[in-house]
Every structure is written in structure tokens, then in C-alpha cells.
Copies of this chain bind each other. A is one copy, B any other.
Amino acid sequence: MATSKASLIDLAKELSLSVSTISRALSNHSSISDATKKKVWKLAKQMNYQPNQLAAALRKGRSNIIGVMVPTINRNFFASVVRGIETVTNKEGFNIIICQSNDDEASEIKNVEALVNAQVEGVIVSIARSTLDFSHFERVLQRGIPLVLFDRMIQGLDISAVVIDDYQGAFQAVKHLIDQGCRRIAHFAGQDNLTIYRDRLKGYRDALEAHQLPFDEQLVYQCKLTLEAGRAGAEHLLQLPSLPDAIFSASDHAALGAMQVLKTHQIRIPDDIALAGFSNEPITSLTEPMLTTVDQHSEVMGQTAAKLFLEMLQNKSTPFSPRKIVLQAELIIRESSLRKRE
């Protein structure tokens, strides 16, 4: 009733027992008689007793909270990863605290510190784009707090991470286009300071090479991979002396931009130009034609990162060598690349 919260002390007074007995009864400790336990349970329910996790955490040194930081929660990929993390850790009794770095190093540092102060038992992060110095993460490790990175990770630093195989994903996509009969395949590439885009480009090149197709510099359009960039890229390609017969874009959004332009030019997809993107954004299954793309298993990525964290937590005492887990990327074949065979 009322605004009051019942504590162990209140229960103890009420039953004329010691606080420790109440505590043990509630946690079903063996040294408390069944009769007493039942009395305690009954009263606890009656007084709506809720344990103060803060106090328990302080005493036990376990907060049951894990910190998650993403550039922004407001993007499908990150939200899905977070969802994956949450569902897995929730089952183990953890709550997650969310922070957003907004791709800014300064607030990343501030947030990491806040998480550590909140006594999180672990930190799961996708690094901000602008981050160049990683000492704030090293400090986390020094404190013995398990740290797991996902998607974006640091080269050189020996930290556990979960990523997808961008290279294989790209390779498969391009191989598929070739299998469909495409021979002049263009590529929308991202900024090459990010490994994910470098790997996709490499997958593209190697797939061409593996099928004895020439690599043509002209067919690679490097850009920010936004919708607008995709439009510009398509316009660019259309002005080439000879058209490509496929485009593999390192992002779905750029692929969609291209799709818009190609359609206005009455170019048939996939018959004249086949199209494949990357990320499997929800929209790609709603376009017309539906877009072939590469799925990143974002929710699975979150689950995997969470499991890796749990594993690290268990082996916390023993020296645990950081692990990298590479998830398979999955090619999703849809209309935009599927040429009918008659």
C-alpha cells in the first residue's frame, strides 16, 4: 500500500526474525525451515516486497547490467542488433543500458565512462565512425570488464568481436550476377577507410577474377552510398560508351537510388541491368522489382555478441584470449537479379 517500499528490515520486524533469515528464506536457502520460508514468502507477497537490486548489486559486486553503445539506435541494423542482445541477455537476468555515440568520439568516451561508473558487467559496442584513439576501451579492459565489439571493429587491437564476412557476401553476390549471365558488372563502393567497404570491394574484384572477367576501373563508382549517391552513380554509368549489365552496390540505399534512375530511363531490371545491394534493409523486399541483397543477420549478430559476452563473463577469472566471430553473410536472391531462363 501507500508509497512505501518494504525492505528486508520491515519483513524482519514484522515476523520477529533477523534480516539474514529473511534474506535466506527468500533465496530459498537450505538452512531455513520450510515453515519459516512459507511465512516469509507469504508476508513478502502481502507487503509487495521487491528487493533493491542496487543494494544487492553493491554487496554482491554484480549489477546484472550490461552496457550497449551504438552510433544511433535509430537505424534498422543497430536496432536489430540491440534486440538480439536484449533477448539473449534478458534470459540470463541482465538488463541493458543503451547509449548512443552519434558517431562522435567525444560522446563515445563520455558514455563509456558513464557505463563503467554504473558498474556494468560488460560493454558491447559498435565503434563510432570518427573514433581514432581507443584508450577508453583499453581502460575498460584494464578494469576487467568484458568488452565485445560488433560490426565495426578496430584493426590491430586484440578485442573480442562479432562481424560478418563482408568479403564472402560480396563475392557471392557478384558470383550470382555472373551466373545469371552478367559480364560487365559495375560496383558502387564505399569510403575505403572502413574495412567493411574495402572487403566488399575485394570480394567484387576476386569474384570477377575467379570467373576470368576483367576488372574495369571505370565501373567502380566510389561514393557515400546514400540514395542520392546511388542515383548519381547510375547516371554516371549511363553515360559510359558501353553500358554495364549489372550493378553490385555495397549498400541497399544506393542500389535503390540506381533502381529509380534506371526505371525512369526505361531500362529493364534485371534483363538489361541486374541489380544487387547489401544489408537486406526491410524495404528491399518491398520494392519493384524486389532487390537482391546480402543479409547481415543483424539480430543473430546481436545474439552472438551477447553469447560471447556471457562466455567471457564465465571465464572471467581465467585469462581469456579475445575471440573474433565471423558470421556468414547470406545472399538473398530476389527479382532484381533473377533473369528468367526460358
CB distance from A251 to the nearest CB of B (A): 13
Q: Is A139 an interface residue (CB 8 A)?
A: yes
Which B residues are in CB contact (< 8 Å) with A52? Answer: 58, 117, 119
Q: Is A100 an interface residue (CB 8 A)?
A: yes
Contact A74 B79 (CB under 8 A): yes
With A73-B86, A98-B96, A288-B263 as known contacts, state yes or no: A53 contacts B143, CB within 8 Å: no
Interface size on A, residues (CB 8 A): 54
CB distance from A143 to the nearest CB of B (A): 6
Question: 1/0 per residue A1-37: CB within 8 Å of B?
Answer: 1110100000000000000000000000000000000
Q: Which of A146-154, A160-168, A241-249, A279-287 contacts B (4 or more CB under 8 A)?
A: A279-287
Q: Is A116 an interface residue (CB 8 A)?
A: yes
CB distance from A41 to the nearest CB of B (A): 16
Contact A97 B100 (CB under 8 A): no
Q: Is A222 an interface residue (CB 8 A)?
A: no
Contact A53 B286 (CB under 8 A): no
Q: Which residue of B lies closest to A113 (CB)?
A: B50
CB distance from A115 to the nearest CB of B (A): 8
Which B residues are in CB contact (< 8 Å) with A98? Answer: 82, 86, 96-98
A95 is contacted by which of B48, B80, B99, B288 (Cβ under 8 Å)? B99
Contact B76 A74 (CB under 8 A): yes
How long is the Cα–Cα vector from A144 to B2 in the complex, in angstroms?
9
Q: Is A57 an interface residue (CB 8 A)?
A: yes
Q: Is A142 an interface residue (CB 8 A)?
A: yes
With A95-B97, A142-B1 as known contacts, state yes or no: A73 contacts B82, CB within 8 Å: yes
Contact B50 A54 (CB under 8 A): no
A283 is contacted by which of B57, B97, B283 (Cβ under 8 Å)? B283
Q: Which residue of B lies closest to A100 (CB)?
A: B86
Contact A51 B286 (CB under 8 A): no
Question: Considering the complex, which residues of chain A in the window 76-106 have a beta carbon less than 8 Å from any beta carbon of chain B?
Answer: 76, 79-80, 82-83, 86-87, 90, 95-100
How long is the Cα–Cα vector from A98 to B85 in the complex, in angstroms?
11
How long is the Cα–Cα vector from A139 to B50 in the complex, in angstroms?
11
Q: Is A275 an interface residue (CB 8 A)?
A: no
A143 is contacted by which of B5, B82, B96 (Cβ under 8 Å)? B5
Contact B76 A117 (CB under 8 A): no
Which B residues are in CB contact (< 8 Å) with A79? Answer: 73-76, 79
Q: Is A63 an interface residue (CB 8 A)?
A: yes
Spell out A's residues near B (CB within 8 Å). 1-3, 5, 48, 50-55, 57-58, 63, 65, 72-76, 79-80, 82-83, 86-87, 90, 95-100, 113-119, 139, 142-144, 227, 256, 260, 263, 282-283, 286-288, 299
